[in-house]
């Protein structure tokens, strides 16, 4: 029996039979964890973001991507909020992610585009999850399981990542039509993914849309009648003629990354506690390699969050936090577990809370600023917020 036949594997321990149990380990399991840092996720922001997209795309279906644990926000709660906001389906990079959310009792329609479990078609069919097929061999593997699973055929239109290239498309859809007639699978969708959706110049996006329209026409001529056709992601919604497709896939925009500039709200606020306050003196260096040297006597605050928790190491020298009612500069290198903050002569006490990033409404840095300081994407920072950070949900 496959591990995927059961919603959750039983927890085991080397001493589960009762012989020689380690009392230290038993104590460690029993005590509560005190989190030094916390990611506060505003579920109303997620609902708001879905509603905002709905206003721009009133006539089609909305798929909310909750892959990668909902971009680090926590998949179960984020999925529920997205559905409450008006999403119709949930999207996942990996089938295993969809199966894990199904195991929590979530019953919404789901689509996964990377098949990463054994006997993937059987498990997808058993748990009513649509899957993607990217090429001929993939199609034949799905058909061989003969489950009747719902399939979305992926077309390569310009991203040069997943998908069937134009030279093989006619053969693929002909075989798909045959397998569908035999009941081995059902073709429920045809889709592709954009390469330049964030560009103001939409020429490449229009070219990809034209290629996908050609592929859909070939598929229909082969006898396929897909329920869904989809191309646009969050930033592509405003670039593509909504009459051409009946579904959009929203990822980053669900969580407030507003590449399209349509009034989205960041859903996550990252906070951490001050663990120590100390005086330091002019001429002294702070943190590894002393890249930060004090120009005056100052007070330093040690904050318990670091690059192991998702703060980008490359942001050192530019990064700021909100503490004691104002922005404070991060002093020196970002360590694995902690950062130091320069307070000047201001008073902060141990146990105070620093805001690393948030929506920016009270002056605190945003995740967009952290991404700029580190030369990376907001997506990467959100997805990197680690397991040591407690998620707390509001609204």
Provide the annotated binding site for substrate. Answer: 161, 336
Q: Which helix (H) or strand (E) holds 61?
A: strand 61-65
Q: Which residues pair with 308 in a beta bridge?
A: none
Rounded to 10 degrees, the C-alpha dihedral 273/279/284/285 comes to 0
67 is catalytic: yes
Q: Rounded to whole angstroms, how far apart are CA atoms 63 and 262?
A: 18
Closest CA to 89 of 235, 225, 247, 210: 247
Give, in degrees to the nearest 5, the angle at Cα 200 between 194 and 205: 30
Contact of 354 with 321, CB cutoff 8 Å = yes
Question: Does residue 390 carry a catalytic annotation?
Answer: no
Residue with tokens 């009392």: 23
Structure tokens belonging to residue 316 = 């050192």
Three-state DSSP string of 311-354:
CCHHHCCCCEEEECCEEEEECCCCCCCCEEEEEECCCCCCCCEE
Q: Is residue 153 classed as helix, strand or coil in its secondary structure?
A: strand
- Angle (CA) 173-174-177 rounded to 5° is 80
* R_g over Cα of the chain: 25
Residue 93, helix vs strand vs coil: strand
Burial class (CB in 10 A: 0-12, 13-18, 19+), 148: middle
Nearest to 310 by CA among 364, 357, 256: 357
Which among 57, 67, 307, 382 is annotated as catalytic? 67
Rounded to the nearest 10 degrees, the angle between the axes of helix 43-56 and helix 75-85 is 40
The annotation places the binding site at 161, 336
Beta-carbon neighbour count of residue 26 at 10 Å? 11
Find the DSSP H helices in the chain: 23-30, 43-56, 67-71, 75-85, 95-102, 120-126, 136-145, 166-181, 203-221, 367-374, 378-384
Query: What is the three-class DSSP state of 387?
Result: coil
CA angle 152, 154, 155 (to 5 degrees): 145
Please give the positions annotated as active site.
67, 288
């Amino acid at each position: 029996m496959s591990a995927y036949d059961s919603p959750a594997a039983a927890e085991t321990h080397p001493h589960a039979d009762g012989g020689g149990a380690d009392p230290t380990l038993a104590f460690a399991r029993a005590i509560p964890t005190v989190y030094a840092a916390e990611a506060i996720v505003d579920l109303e922001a997620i609902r708001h973001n879905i509603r905002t997209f709905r206003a721009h795309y009133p006539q089609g279906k909305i798929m909310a991507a909750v892959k990668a644990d909902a971009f680090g926000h926590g998949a179960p709660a984020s999925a529920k909020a997205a559905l409450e906001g008006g999403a119709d389906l949930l999207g996942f990079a990996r089938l295993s992610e969809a199966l894990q959310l199904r195991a929590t009792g979530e019953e919404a329609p789901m689509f996964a585009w990377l098949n990463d479990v054994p006997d993937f078609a059987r498990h997808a069919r058993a748990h009513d999850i649509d899957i993607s097929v990217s090429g001929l061999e993939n199609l034949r593997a799905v058909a061989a399981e003969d489950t009747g699973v719902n399939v979305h055929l992926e077309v390569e239109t310009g991203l040069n990542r997943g998908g069937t290239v134009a030279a093989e498309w006619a053969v693929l859809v002909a075989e798909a039509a045959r397998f569908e007639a035999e009941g081995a699978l059902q073709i429920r969708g045809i889709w592709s993914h954009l390469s330049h959706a964030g560009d103001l110049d939409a020429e490449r996006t229009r070219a990809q849309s034209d290629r996908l329209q050609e592929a859909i026409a070939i598929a229909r001529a082969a006898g396929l009648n897909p329920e869904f056709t989809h191309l646009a992601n969050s930033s592509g919604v405003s670039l593509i003629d909504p009459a051409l497709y009946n579904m959009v896939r929203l990822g980053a925009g669900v969580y407030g990354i507003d590449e399209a500039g349509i009034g989205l709200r960041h859903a996550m606020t990252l906070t951490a506690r001050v663990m120590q306050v100390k005086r330091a003196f002019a001429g002294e260096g702070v943190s590894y390699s002393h890249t930060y040297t004090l120009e005056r006597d100052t007070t330093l605050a040690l904050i318990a969050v670091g690059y192991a928790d998702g703060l980008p190491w490359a942001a050192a020298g530019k990064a700021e936090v909100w503490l004691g009612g104002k922005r404070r500069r991060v002093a020196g290198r970002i360590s694995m577990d902690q950062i130091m903050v320069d307070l000047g002569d201001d008073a902060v006490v141990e146990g105070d809370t620093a805001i690393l990033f948030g929506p920016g409404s009270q002056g605190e840095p945003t995740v967009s600023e952290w991404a700029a300081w580190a030369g990376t994407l907001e997506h990467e920072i959100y997805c990197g917020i680690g397991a040591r950070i407690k998620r707390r949900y509001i609204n």
